[in-house]
Structure 1
Amino acid sequence: MSVQKGRNSTLFLCGDVMLGRGIDQAFQKSVNSTLYESYVKDAGAYIQLAERENGEIELPVSYKYIWGDALKVWKELQPDLKLINLETSITTNDDPWEGKGIHYRMHPENIKALKTAGINHCSLANNHIMDWGRPGLEETLQTLRNAGINYSGAGQNQDLAKKPSILHAGSDRVLVFSFGARSSGIPSSWAAEKNRSGLNYIERIDVELISRIKENIRSHKKEGDIVIFSIHWGGNWGYDIPKSHRQFAHKLIDEGDVDLIFGHSSHHPLGIEVYKNKLIIYGAGDFFNDYEGISGMEQFRGELSLMYFPEIESSTGNLKSLKLVPMEIKKFQLHKARKKDIQWLKKVLDREGSELGTHVILEKDKSFSLKW
């Protein structure tokens, strides 16, 4: 079907996608299961924890299995592009980053999981993509290229790490710039340099950084492009949004030609803001992980996740609507959330959005619509 220039674009966004450890071990093909964590030494233990929590998982799982009800949602809503933050190295390299406590990786064969979901873009500037060293990063980049999946935020050198993904939603171009901040736990040694592979790394947020970002965006942006700023920042737990994050986000919109800020790192969704008709997701929350059965932080309900479907006006980059679909991770599979969990998420989004000028409406199809 041909697409007319100037129509609105609908995107799918989600937070952290973690396909390593237990998830990788549940597939037909997996990497060596040895881990170097304080308490868990074999990735298969995460399958046992999940089964103890929610019941037996029929192994091996298929690539369709893990996405579960998300496949039905994507088929129904037909987003133009699907964008994720991939927090898993794709490598068979057996040498972990020394001194780092947790290491995520999956076998390159399991790139088919992302292909099955139709993922168009992976943000890579995060605190797990180099868990298996620079050889692991370089194999990750090559695997994504071979699979035809775009990425940004990492590269063989600084210039490549700064480059955006250039995607197409109908006849419109969408540019995705990805950055990773120290505050999310990224080691400074992961920063890409002139002759060294690594990430598009942010040590601290200041005026000079805004200037460099503006220059980088304007070197790639053409008139009519939609610009998405993907950033891995802040801690994993808690709802507080630092004042510096809000100020930084507003400046990117005011001065940097940014149309949508796609923030992640928090393991649960944070409050959502719409500033000058531009969407700011401060923390999208985890979308998929292997955390089932792990105790601690239960009050944040990390098993609940959201699918974000912003509709963007092509001519202005303004947000026209945002649909949110509540999901639950259970038995290593995404399910539509149950009624009581949907109500719990609504209370959280309304509470955290109140200071940001947003709230959500529960629709008949059990999704949320953002109001601002």
Structure 2
Amino acid sequence: MHSVALTGDVMLGRGIDQILPHPGDPAIHECHARSALTYLALAERRNGPIRRPAGFAYVWGDALPALRSAAIRIVNLETSVTTSDSPEAKGIHYRMHPDNIGCLRAAGIECCVLANNHVLDWGRGGLLQTLGTLAQAGIATAGAGRNAAQAEQPAVMPLSAGGRLLVLAAGTTSSGIPAGWAATATQPGVHLLQEPLSAAVPRLATLLRAAKRSGDIAVASIHWGPNWGYDIPRELRDAAHALIDEAGFDVVHGHSSHHPLGIEVHRNRLILYGAGDFINDYEGIEGYEEFRGDLTLLYLPRLSAATGELLGLTLVPFRIGRFRLNRASAADAGWLRDTLDRESLRFGTRIGMAADGTLDAAWRGAA
């Protein structure tokens, strides 16, 4: 059995970068703010003072033991790791100073998915510095590269019981990735999928077949869909099923939504349509309160070493406060349980809550 830790969006830039040991230039280019310190001030106004500098492990807070319990940790890193001062022509830009890479190391992150709508916020130079910084830190990347061939290559990580974990990452324009960010034969960028998604599955199948060996477990990590709302379009569900049925993936790790979406287990394989944000600096920002964006989940699937099938799924709930992951209260964990159970029921998945406040999944066909 293999235990994997999956998260949705991890944003370590802007206000969070400013509390880490090596804050970068706080200048940002937003219509409502010109300094990343504005977001720090909003968070402190909401939940109280935040000590500076905070240690590299600070933001992971109460999530560290659960993260360390897994064999491999995979996050969608929605932050450019760069000192570049060449912002793209867009409304929001996230960057973390490269000297703060210890923040990812502190949580033992083995793989950063980069196919998202913020990795090129500071231009192609910013992407190249991100790739170099992560490589130097020994952290695998997937979904972006110095050219299309590299962006399409899966990250490959050995598993202790033998075999390897492959993470093949890509994104869609529906998540906000500009079409011009696509990597080409000669240009750095992200692995941008052809749409409709049904047209992209054969190519992903070809890429996986070229990389996968006997005993490997394959994760499709896809940045797709809007930030808010529980609706899962039929196109997304069909694509997720095809990634398993036709392409041969064992896990579909979807992200982009700012809150967790319904969970499906298809042919005993896990589909996360939207993992939700995991870390961000959004405290104090008003709007969309009904979705409880302050509540986050760490997903801990247990996968068969022989088949890649899902043997069990634990979800650990947290609440973001003072730029830190804090274990969710019983009431907050109950809210997440009720919401995810409601949204997952359409797929035949039920979400329960254990005495320790963790959540678990049960599904049709489970042993």
Query: TM-score of the superposition, structure 2-length normalised?
Result: 0.97
Q: How does 1:78-97 map onto structure 2 within 5 Å?
A: 78-97=69-88
Q: Which residue of 1 aligns with 2:148?
A: 158
1:330 aligns to 2:321 (yes or no): yes
Q: Which residue of 2 aligns with 1:72?
A: 65
Does structure 2 conserve the Cα–Cα contact (< 8 Å) formed by 1:205 and 1:248? Answer: no
Distance 1:220 1:296 in 2: 43
1:101 aligns to 2:101 (yes or no): no
Distance 1:205 1:308 in 2: 28
Distance 1:59 1:206 in 2: 44
Per the TM alignment, residue 64 of structure 1 is displaced from its structure 2 partner at its CA by 1.5
Distance 1:194 1:67 in 2: 37
Task: Specify the SS of the correspondent of 1:196.
Answer: coil
What do the CA deviations read for 1:262-318 (whole angstroms, capped 9, x no partner)? 000000000000000000000000000000000011111001000100000011110
Letter matched to residue 26 of structure 2: S
Does structure 1 conserve the Cα–Cα contact (< 8 Å) formed by 2:349 and 2:362? Answer: yes
Per the TM alignment, residue 223 of structure 1 is displaced from its structure 2 partner at its CA by 1.4
Give aligned pairs, total: 362
Task: Specify the SS of the correspondent of 2:106.
Answer: helix
What do the CA deviations read for 1:141-192 (whole angstroms, capped 9, x no partner)? 0000000000110111100000000011212211000001110000000000
Taking only aligned residues, the RMSD between alpha carbons, in angstroms, comes to 0.8
Q: Which residue of 2 aligns with 1:59?
A: 52
Letter matched to residue 252 of structure 1: L
Letter matched to residue 14 of structure 1: T
Q: How does 1:4-23 map onto structure 2 within 5 Å?
A: 8-23=1-16
Letter matched to residue 354 of structure 2: E
Letter matched to residue 111 of structure 1: I
Match of 1:45 among 38, 42, 47: 38
Distance 2:346 2:170 in 1: 26
Distance 1:359 1:238 in 2: 20
Q: Which residue of 2 aligns with 1:141?
A: 131
What fraction of aligned residue pairs are identical, expressed as a percent? Answer: 48
Q: 1:353 to 1:232 in 2, by over 3 A?
A: same
Q: Which residue of 2 aligns with 1:181?
A: 172
Query: TM-score of the superposition, structure 1-length normalised?
Result: 0.96
Task: Specify the SS of the correspondent of 2:200.
Answer: helix
What do the CA deviations read for 1:67-111 (whole angstroms, capped 9, x no partner)? 110113234xx211000000000000111012x000000000111
Distance 2:199 2:296 in 1: 35
Per the TM alignment, residue 120 of structure 1 is displaced from its structure 2 partner at its CA by 0.3
Distance 1:108 1:206 in 2: 34
Distance 2:24 2:225 in 1: 30
Per the TM alignment, residue 208 of structure 1 is displaced from its structure 2 partner at its CA by 3.4
What do the CA deviations read for 1:171-229 (whole angstroms, capped 9, x no partner)? 22110000011100000000000111100001413443221111111011111210100
Task: Specify the SS of the correspondent of 1:16.
Answer: strand
Letter matched to residue 124 of structure 1: L
Match of 1:120 among 91, 107, 110: 110
Q: Unpaired runs of 5+ in structure 1?
A: 1-7
Q: Unpaired runs of 5+ in structure 2?
A: none
Match of 1:255 among 246, 250, 267: 246
Task: Specify the SS of the correspondent of 2:85.
Answer: coil
Distance 1:183 1:45 in 2: 29
Does structure 2 conserve the Cα–Cα contact (< 8 Å) formed by 1:14 and 1:287? Answer: yes
Match of 1:28 among 14, 21, 38: 21
What do the CA deviations read for 1:243-272 (whole angstroms, capped 9, x no partner)? 100000101111101100000000000000
Does structure 1 conserve the Cα–Cα contact (< 8 Å) formed by 2:194 and 2:200? Answer: no
Distance 1:251 1:64 in 2: 38
Distance 1:31 1:203 in 2: 35
Q: Which residue of 1 aligns with 2:191?
A: 200
Query: Where does structure 1 differ by over 6 angstroms across 4 or more consecutive aligned residues?
Result: none
